[in-house]
Amino acid sequence: MSHNRLGQETSPYLLQHRDNPVHWWPWGEEALAEAKRLDKLILLSVGYAACHWCHVMAHESFEDEGAAALMNELFINIKVDREERPDIDTIYMNALHLLGEQGGWPLTMFLTPTGEPFWGGTYFPPTQRYGRPGFPDVLRSVAGVYRREPDKIARNVQALVAGLHKIALNSPGNSIAIASIDKIAERLMREVDPVLGGVGSAPKFPQPSIFLLLWRAWLRTGVPAFKHAVTVTLTQMCQGGIYDHLGGGFARYSTDAEWLVPHFEKMLYDNGQLLDLLTLVWQDTRDPVYEQRAHETVGWLMREMLAPAEGGGFGFASTLDADSEGEEGKFYVWTEADIDRLLGTAAPALKAAYDVTPGGNWEGHTILNRSRNQRFGNAETEAALAASRAILWRAREARIKPGWDDKVLADWNGLMIAALARAGTAFDKPDWIAAAETAFDFVCTAMTENGRLRHSWRHGVLKHAATLDDYANMARAALALDQATGKPRFRSQAVIWLDVLDRHYWHRTSGGYFFTADDAPGLIARTKAIHDNATPAGNGVLVEALAQLYHLTGETGFRDRADALIAAFSGELERNVFGLCSLLNGVETLQAALQVVIIGARAEAGGFLTALSRLSLPTLVLSLVAPAEALPSSHPAFGKGQTGGRTTAYVCRGQTCSLPITEPAALTAALRLR
């Protein structure tokens, strides 16, 4: 007998739908076998727990008895959490793009009984509006075409499946020169709003990969326009409504060009990448806004995003919802009357600083922001505002909170772990580094099975084979912790994970890493990609990781693999430079890493390490070696030693190294030379 089968799942998103009258199946062999047995089409619905429009469609259609009855009659209905199954989401989102449709969630795709896509869309309203057909009409129409025009369905399937396989083909090319990266940076910079920051107009997404590329271009070339593109964007985001001025952390994107009205959901991956970027830019600018936002964002992370394990340790949870009490943003917004009642005589100062007006700035309410006056006031003024914010935060804590998706994803944790390790070093916060180590160890133990990573964990239950991005981002995190702590185990773990990727993910014919392993459960296509999306592409991340390992160890196998990876995808530069930032940043580190060698005990190198932590050095590869320890023979500082028995540093660019440096101030001076 048919029924809803989501009650035994662990995904918060799937559990949100366990009481729907829809006879949902989770993705799996059982659901596909049932579709084949009954020769019924599959309705695939993909979303995630923090998705506002997913909630809207659920309320309008999936909770409606009439719509559910129609779905149950005509289809095998499969519900997928895109965060838990990015492999499935990627395939069917690509199919939607091949149909010429704009992507988004909820993703609604119609598949043959064998799982092949032939048509789809995103959100469908219950009745015709927004220029979109009503969902029940769509259901009847699709089922009718399948019965009456099977040849039409077959043609669509053939075209889409062929297109999906074509997407998986990489575009090989030649090596990439640093000069070419500078030109690409100039091209991307022209897309940045010079006044409000961000790429393009509304909606605006943070796109940290692009701004990391532009920041590295500024450090490399000294062209002020690169710096301005990054700082205007970061400042507008840090002072705009996309930032939570009471609780810390950034929302996923802004619905307008001014960064005022966010899509209120908070994602771990955005905040990890933005923390990384804030740290790098602060190291150069010392802007107090960036420092405060970094501290507040880590505060939010440690207060609200820890997912503890029963036996100890923790990972970082995935998302906070946009909605509470069925309304988007309700938890976060204010009225002037709220502010006056809570703050009394302190209200006027906060209202002036945070854009609080009688009519509000969004749907009769106020989204707190400091966009109109972005500079901080004096210490006394800022202390008073902080006290007022604390009162508002405590009042907000009494509200009904947005939903929390506490599943732990290896790839997103990797992004945050790396950011925490680097920020902890820069801001001299050992507790941040310790938290990064704890989360790293959690992934290595609780999320590892038979020596292989798993993608998702929740409440002690592991789900799904690891993706390329899981391994790539965790390897990146391992190397960040290696640089932050000097503990050999982190580098060793990165090498182990890269070996797994080479054995199970590398495409031996045309190069590049597949998104899924060769022994993972089969899908209709095996994808391979180099373009960054909201998160950096695993293939791009790995160029950076391999480059660092080559410079640290001197093992040519790492460089050979990095070169092969670049060659596998560099032909993409002829088609579209957007989305290749992680690849290009990795190329720079491979070709032009800033290698610093410190010869001496770590306990005696504190001054040098502090000097390094205070400078923005995204291509830095640090080797801290004991006096009796030898560097790899290929290292440009091979054979160099201490001067006068003192801790000694060398700065190497290419194959040329500086004279020995025995004072931290001299190291700072040497590194500030462009």
Domains located in the chain, CATH noted: 6-167 (3.40.30.10), 178-324+403-592 (1.50.10.10), 332-397 (no CATH), 594-671 (3.40.30)
Confidence of residue 612 (pLDDT cuts 50, 70, 90): very high
Confidence of residue 102 (pLDDT cuts 50, 70, 90): confident
Characterize 416-436 residue by residue with b for buried, 16 or more Cβ atoms within 10 angstroms of its Cβ, and e for exposed. Answer: bbbbbbbbbbbbebeebbebb
Q: What share of the chain in percent tops pLDDT 90?
A: 93
Confidence of residue 673 (pLDDT cuts 50, 70, 90): low
Dihedral, CA of residue 24, residue 28, residue 31 and residue 35, to nearest 10: 130
Tokens of 617: 């050095």
pLDDT per position as a tens digit, 201-256? 999 999 999 999 999 999 999 999 999 999 999 999 999 999 999 999 999 999 99
Q: How many helices and strands, by DSSP H and E, does the chain display?
A: 24, 20
- Specify the residue for token string 């560097």: 631
Q: What is the mean pLDDT of residues 167-172?
A: 88
pLDDT per position as a tens digit, 336-381? 999 999 999 999 999 999 999 999 999 999 999 999 989 999 999 9
Stated pTM of the model: 0.96
pLDDT at res. 662: 96
pLDDT at res. 575: 85
In whole angstroms, give the CA distance from residue 633 to residue 553.
Answer: 9
Confidence of residue 464 (pLDDT cuts 50, 70, 90): very high
Q: Contacts for 434-439 with beta carbons within 8 Å, 24 or more apart? A: 435/302, 436/477, 436/480, 436/481, 436/484, 437/481, 437/485, 438/313, 438/314, 439/314, 439/315, 439/316, 439/413
Tokens of 391: 């009162």
- Specify the residue for token string 């916060």: 429
**pLDDT of residue 169 exceeding 90:** no
Q: 33 to each of 43, 114, 167, 635, how far by Cα in Å?
A: 14, 8, 27, 57
pLDDT per position as a tens digit, 616-650? 999 999 999 999 898 999 999 999 999 999 999 99
Beta partners for residue 111, in sequence order: 42, 117
pLDDT per position as a tens digit, 553-593? 999 999 999 999 999 999 999 888 889 999 999 999 999 99
Mean per-residue pLDDT of the chain: 95
**pLDDT of residue 1 exceeding 60:** no
pLDDT at res. 505: 97
Q: What is the mean pLDDT of residues 280-302?
A: 98
